[in-house]
Amino acid sequence: MRTAALRRAIAALVCLGVTLGTVGTAHASWPYPTAHHTLAWGETLADVAARFGVTVDALAAANGITDLYSVSPGRALTLPSPETTAEPHSVYVVQPGDTLFGIATRFGTTVDALAAANGIADPSSIQAGQSLTIPGGNPPMVSAGPIRGLDIWPSPVPQGQVLVIAARADEGAFLDGWLNAQRLAFSRDGDVAFALVPVGFADPPGARQLVVWARTSPGDAVRMALTVQVREGTFESSLVTIPPDRVYLLDPALIEQDRLQLERAFGTRTVRKLWAGEFLQPIQGTLTTSFGAYREYNDGRRESRHGGIDLSAPTGTPVLAANAGRVVFAGPLQVYGNGIVIDHGLGLASAYFHLHTIGVQVGQMVQKGDVIGTVGNTGLSTGAHLHWEMRLGNVPVDPTQWMSHAIP
């Protein structure tokens, strides 16, 4: 996809109010404030602060450091939460020829504010490669080093959706970054480098610190920091009545058995993108359970979150591949019934459960719209339907986000 089309498509993402989960799947919470970083040889507190998008003062306070010059290599530093930072900020690395006045003008602040934020007594003393904290919130995205722009969608990102980070960067530029302490993996599409970050339906709402940097050589390295907001999703609740002959499938041991079987399939990470454009809804059925729904079973003592969307249709209805990819699982499961998992590349997978028949084999390449099986009523099911879910990095994400817009 060309750059203009990429930006139009992603910019049109809708912040949907419902999101998905899965029976028996645990999701790690954001690691702040207990994440740590070990100070490397030659690394300063300013380097660590710039890397993780926090202030030097916050980093020093979190670790009880009173002398900024007495910290030794090998020390484990506690990384403060971005939520505790008093003022939103961005980080900029000084380029050759920069002046404090020019940087202040570029980012819409003043020389005095910039000097105060960085403890600079002499405004003429800045040097190329020095990291500066930019006060006053998120600055406009401007050309800086090899990065010519940085955009994020959707903003804010609802629980259960995918955050798309797109940087317009010079050819040959190397990009890296973090969202809080989560490492980003960038892929290329022309002059746009993009990273896809799943936000779990159980991840807490609030601020995340996004830090991205790029370089084509050590002399033109640039770092940018932004605050990303995660907003609370809206989830339905339902009571599911399981037939007596299938109540045994609520056994946690059987749920764990399915999880272990699927873990390898969902963990497949083809290094290139296999999908193209929007995803298809696999069947034209009636939506019976939405993404991320809270579910109680029979007596209400067993609970779960729903990791996909349920679409009811008659047994034998053809099920289509939502997009191109490689089959990484095809076979019977205890709780999920007959199932198929398709790897779409870059850690993205789609899954199809409770099938009547399976029409593909592991290792087979499929195209968008290919018939891969038929609707059934197998496993922990109360009637003929398709349970369809998508996972990015083994985190369930809202399939409806992928159906009306091409990502990326």
CATH number of 285's domain: 2.70.70.10
Same domain, 191 and 253: no
Query: Assign residue 99 a region: left if phi > 0, alpha if psi is -120 to 50, beta otherwise?
Result: beta
Residue 227 lies in a domain: yes
Domain boundary among 184, 209, 231: 231
Residue 35 lies in a domain: yes
Residue 408 lies in a domain: no
pLDDT, residue 263, reads 92
Coil, helix or strand at residue 303: strand
Q: Which residue has the tokens 């790897």?
A: 343
Same domain, 296 and 148: no
d(CA 57, CA 188): 36
Query: Assign residue 172 a region: left if phi > 0, alpha if psi is -120 to 50, beta otherwise?
Result: left
Radius of gyration of the chain (CA): 24
Same domain, 215 and 272: no
Instruction: Report the greatest alpha carbon distance in the chain.
Output: 79
Residue 393 lies in a domain: yes
Same domain, 107 and 19: yes
Same domain, 323 and 253: yes
Q: Which residue has the tokens 């991320």?
A: 292
In terms of Cα–Cα distance, which of 193, 127, 132, 200 is closest to 166?
A: 193
pLDDT, residue 119, reads 84
Same domain, 152 and 253: no
pLDDT, residue 36, reads 66
pLDDT, residue 301, reads 65
pLDDT, residue 221, reads 67
Residue 117 lies in a domain: yes
Query: For the purposes of burial, counting CB atoms within 10 Å of the CB of 261, is it exposed (0-12), middle (13-18) or buried (19 or more)?
Result: middle
In terms of Cα–Cα distance, which of 212, 89, 108 is closest to 152?
A: 212
Same domain, 188 and 283: no
Same domain, 319 and 227: no
Same domain, 19 and 117: yes
Domain of residue 376, residue span:
237-403
pLDDT, residue 314, reads 98
Same domain, 43 and 101: yes
Query: Partners of 146 in the beta sheet?
Result: none
Residue 337 lies in a domain: yes
pLDDT, residue 13, reads 29
Domain boundary among 183, 201, 231: 231
Residues 6+ apart with CB under 8 A from 274: 323, 324, 325, 326, 343, 344, 345
d(CA 58, CA 35): 14
Same domain, 35 and 95: yes
Residue 214 lies in a domain: yes
pLDDT, residue 4, reads 40
pLDDT by residue for the chain (408 residues), tens only, comes to 334 444 333 333 222 222 222 222 222 222 223 456 777 777 777 777 766 666 777 788 888 888 776 778 888 888 775 433 333 346 677 777 778 877 776 666 778 788 888 888 887 788 887 878 777 644 444 445 677 777 788 888 999 999 999 888 778 888 888 888 788 989 988 778 899 999 999 999 998 888 887 877 766 667 777 788 899 988 898 888 899 999 999 999 999 999 999 999 998 888 899 999 999 999 999 999 999 999 888 876 667 899 999 999 999 999 999 999 999 999 999 999 999 999 999 999 999 999 999 999 999 999 999 999 999 999 999 999 999 999 999 999 999 999 978 888
Q: Which two tokens stand for residue 118?
A: 């960085």
pLDDT, residue 33, reads 31
Q: What is the pTM of this model?
A: 0.68
Same domain, 336 and 223: no
Q: Where residue 167 sits, what CATH number does that domain have?
A: 2.60.40.10
Domain boundary among 231, 262, 288: 231
pLDDT, residue 218, reads 61
Residue 111 lies in a domain: yes
Coil, helix or strand at residue 259: helix
What is the number of structural domains in the chain? Answer: 2
CA-to-CA dists, residue 43 to 34, 46, 101, angstroms = 21, 8, 27
